Amino acid sequence: MGRDAGCYGNSAIKTPNIDALAADGVKFENAFCTTSSCSPSRAVILSGLYAHANGMYGLMHAYHHFACFEDIQTLPGILRTAGYRTGINGKLHVAPPEIFPFDVEIDSDARNTVQMAEKSRNFISQDDNKPFFLYFCPWDPHRGRPFNAWPEPNPFGNKPEGYEGVEKITYTPEEVNIPSYLPDTPATRAELAQYYQSISRLDQGLGRLISILKSQKKYENTLIMFLSDNGPAFPGGLATLYEPGINLPLIVKRPKHKKKGITNHALVNWTSLTPTILDFADALPADVNFQGRSLKPILEEDHPSEWNEVYASHTFHEVTMYTPMRVLRGRRFKLIWNIMWEQEQPVPRDIWESTTWQYLRRNGIETLGKRSMDTFLRRPEFELFDLQEDPDESNNLAQRPEFADRMEVMKEKIKSFQEDTQDPWVIEWEQQGLEVTEEY
C-alpha cells in the first residue's frame, strides 16, 4: 500500500478510520521502507536490521526460499522474553519460523479485516495482567490470484458478493486519482478502482480493531503503528526504490499522548520500528545492535533535528530478480546505485501479468508516467534526483558536471553505510576505485 489515504492527500479514497488514527496520533510525512519487497521488508520491520544484514534478501515462499539468519533476535522473541503475550493475525511471510516465535496464531480470513479484528477480540481482552503485542497483517491491498485477469482488472481480493460484516465500498474508474508515476489509461483506472476498494475494506478492519481496544478500555494504554511493507503493486511502485515504492504511510498513536494530530517531518525508515516498540515496552536488550533508532524521543515534534537522511537496501524480489540497489535519500537529493545496471530490469510477475502493464505492451505505449519505458527498464549505474525540482524522479543529474562533488559525497556516504551495516555488496565499490576495508 502506498500513501493512498485521505490523511495523505488522496481525496478520492474513503479511509475514515486511517484518517481518524492520524488525527489522534502522529503522521509521518517522510517514512520509508528500506526494500520494496514483502518478505525482506517484513524481516526489517521485525528485526531492526537491513535485509542485507538479517539475511532475508528476497521472498520466502515457494521456490524463492529466502530466509533470515538463524541467530538474529526478533521483535516477538524479545517481547516474549520481556513477559509479553505475542499474537499474529494474518500474513507473516518471513522465515525461519523458529526465530519469529508468536505465542498465538489467530486463524482468520486475511482478506476480511473486520473478521480479523473480531477474531483478535479474545486475545486483546484476555485478563492475565500481561501486556500484549498483536501483529495484525491483512492481505489487503495485495493483488489477487491469479494475477493475470486480462482484459479485466485484477480484483485485489475483492469479490462480487463482498465479505461478511464489511460494507462494500466501490469506486468507478472515473473517480480515482492517477498518480504521476502511472499512465492514465483505462486499464490503470480500472485497476486503481479495485485497489481503492481493497484499501477501504482494510480501513474498516482497522476501525473495528480500534473499537475493540476502546471497548476493553485498552486504547489509551496501547501503542498503535499503522504502516505498509512496500509500495503498491503497480509499475514504478513494488520492487523499485523510486519514491512510490518506498515512501509509505506511517501513523503512530502513542500511549497516553499529550499532543494529537501531529505531522512529523523527520526522515525515518523501517529499521526504527522494532527499536521504537521495544523502547516503549522498556525491553531494549543490551546485547542487540539495532541498525535503526527509536522514534520515541521525537514523536511529539514537528521538525526534529538530525533526522535528515535515510538509506535503503534492496537485493532481490523474486529469486530470478537479482537487482541489488542501494540508496541515500536526503531532504532534497536522492542517489540510487544500481549495482547490476548493465542488465535490463526484470518486472515482478504480478506486475508483468497485470492489466495495467499488459495494456501498455499490447498498445505499444512507450511512456510510464513521466519516464520513458526504456529509461524504466534500462537504468544507469547511478541516478541522482533533485526531489525539490523533480519529485517524479525523471531527470537524472548523475552525469552533470555541476553535481560531480555532490555525487562523490553521496557515494562515500553509501559506502560508509554499507560498511557500518555489514553489507556484503560493499565490495562492489572496488570497481569504482573506492577503498573497501579488508574484512569485507
* pLDDT per position as a tens digit, 374-390: 999 999 999 999 999 99
**Stretch 268-290: mean pLDDT, rounded?**
96
Domains and CATH numbers, the chain: 6-307 (3.40.720.10), 314-432 (3.30.1120.10)
Is the CB of residue 254 less than 8 Å from the CB of residue 223? yes
Please identify which of the residues 7, 38, 68, 137 carries the catalytic annotation. Answer: 38
Say whether 137 is catalytic: no
Q: Which helix (H) or strand (E) holds 420?
A: helix 404-420
* pLDDT per position as a tens digit, 202-238: 999 999 999 999 999 999 999 999 999 999 999 999 9
Cis bond upstream, residue 101 (ω within 30): no
Q: How far apart are CA 434 and CA 428, in angstroms?
A: 9
Q: Is 280 left (phi over 0), alpha (psi -120 to 50) or beta?
A: alpha
Residue 432 has pLDDT above 90, yes or no: no
Q: What angle do CA 34, 35, 37 make, to 5 degrees?
A: 145
Which pTM does this prediction carry? 0.96
Q: So what's the pLDDT on residue 440?
A: 39
Q: How far apart are CA 292 and CA 270, in angstroms?
A: 8
Pairing of strands 333-338, 382-386: antiparallel
Residue 438 has pLDDT above 60, yes or no: no
* pLDDT per position as a tens digit, 109-134: 999 999 999 999 999 999 888 999 99
Of residues 328, 357, 360, 322, the one with CA closest to residue 342? 322
Positive or negative CA dihedral for 35, 41, 43, 48?
A: positive
* Residues whose CB falls within 8 Å of the CB of residue 148, separated by 6 or more in sequence, listed in order: 353, 358
Give the Å distances, CA to CA, from 404 to 46, 309, 381, 383, 399. 38, 20, 15, 12, 8
**Stretch 394-406: mean pLDDT, rounded?**
98
Residue 395 has pLDDT above 90, yes or no: yes
